[in-house]
A = this chain, B = another copy of it.
Amino acid sequence: MSLSTEQLAEIEEQRGQTAPTRRAVSEGLEERLFTAHPVLDHGFVRVIDYMGDDAAICQAARVSYGKGTKSVQNDEGLIRYLMRHWHSTPFEMCEIKLHVKLPVFVARQWIRHRTANVNEYSARYSILDREFYIPAPEHVAAQSEINNQGRGDALQGEEAARVLDMLKSDSMRCYDNYEAMISQDGQQGLARELARMNLPANVYTQWYWKVDLHNLFHFLRLRADAHAQYEIRVYAETMCNIVADWVPFAYKAFEDYRLGAASLSAQMVNCVQRMLRGEEVSQENSGLSAREWREFETIVRGN
């Protein structure tokens, strides 16, 4: 991460100011407010604002006049019930606003989640910084041989070195030329809205991103998953830690009923029932395809 002294000072100044509010306050999130949590080589996630806490979920579910919470135990039970039975609207009653710095190719995946509000730094209007994502050596991974959209082990030796060298030198050359094109030193200067097209997809951008808790959980379920690309997964994991401090009951329910849960197809349910009755079930007599059987085995054998 590479915040300037001035940016760090702005952040510290904002952290130093408090004012009284009548609204729901999450102690765990207040502690994190504005601080830049580093991700990848130059990226970060910062919490800018939030609305609601665990109690606000219950308050909305109960359409309450007052705080709407009962005992702490009662509230946790309600939150788990709501999560288990897909009652999503009370979770929509919490909202969070983040400032995120991320490579463009990650931003392009991220933006596919449409139910959120976004303000991106404009490269039509402003000049982008010379900051590019260059993977750490252990993340310079080979194409997966079994999964078209995945990666295998890290590349080694000369091949890895060659890749890193290409990424670095192309980034630098493209940025040099970007600067040369927009320069107004002895020439007119190309329009910024055009010059930006010369920058590769590992250049960093940044945005304000605001989302409700239900849709954030949906994002995290897909992006904190082992099948998500590493470079977006690390953002999702950072956000998981933030959410755990913000709404601890809701986050625990999310872990149990979504992140760590498994969905069994009708045929898989039938297999479990037969196996528990003592039947021998194999792929051949399971009604599952070979691929589904592998997925099933992973779930019920736990490895």
Please tell me if A137 contacts chain B, counting CB pairs below 8 Å: no
Taking a contact as CB atoms closer than 8 A, the residue among B65, B111, B126 that contacts A111 in the complex is B111
Q: Kindly list the 7 A-B residue pairs having the minimum CB-CB distance in the complex, ordered from nearest.
A: A10-B66, A260-B266, A151-B191, A92-B117, A197-B202, A114-B114, A142-B188
Cβ contacts under 8 Å, A257 to chain B = 263, 265-266
Given known contacts A170-B177, A200-B174, A276 and B275 CB-to-CB distance under 8 angstroms:
yes
Q: Distance in Å from the Cβ of A67 to the closest Cβ of chain B?
A: 6
A265 near B260: Cβ-Cβ < 8 Å: yes
What is the 8 Å Cβ interface bit string for chain A, positions 123-162, against chain B (1 contact, 0 not)?
Answer: 0111000000101000011111000111110010001001
A295 to B204, CA, bound (A): 36
A50 to B167, CA, bound (A): 43
Q: Return 28 A-B CB contacts under 8 Å, by A number.
A: A10-B67, A19-B25, A49-B51, A59-B208, A61-B119, A63-B119, A63-B207, A84-B292, A86-B222, A114-B114, A117-B212, A124-B149, A133-B197, A135-B194, A142-B188, A151-B194, A155-B190, A170-B173, A174-B174, A196-B201, A257-B263, A257-B265, A260-B269, A261-B263, A261-B269, A269-B302, A273-B300, A273-B302
A194 near B141: Cβ-Cβ < 8 Å: yes
Please tell me if A2 contacts chain B, counting CB pairs below 8 Å: no
Q: Distance in Å from the Cβ of A54 to the closest Cβ of chain B?
A: 14
Q: Given A144-B191, A261-B269, list of 6 further CB < 8 A pairs?
A: A20-B21, A22-B30, A150-B193, A174-B174, A262-B264, A273-B300
Interface centre among A34, A142, A149, A265 (most CB of B within 10 A): A265
Q: Distance in Å from the Cβ of A173 to the closest Cβ of chain B?
A: 7
B202 near A198: Cβ-Cβ < 8 Å: yes
Q: CB within 8 Å of B: which of A218-274?
A: 222, 229, 255-257, 259-270, 272-273
A95 near B95: Cβ-Cβ < 8 Å: yes
Q: Distance in Å from the Cβ of A296 to the closest Cβ of chain B?
A: 11
Q: Distance in Å from the Cβ of A146 to the closest Cβ of chain B?
A: 13
Please name the residue on chain B nearest to A17 by beta carbon. B22
Please tell me if A105 contacts chain B, counting CB pairs below 8 Å: yes
Please name the residue on chain B nearest to A19 by beta carbon. B25
A134 to B236, CA, bound (A): 36
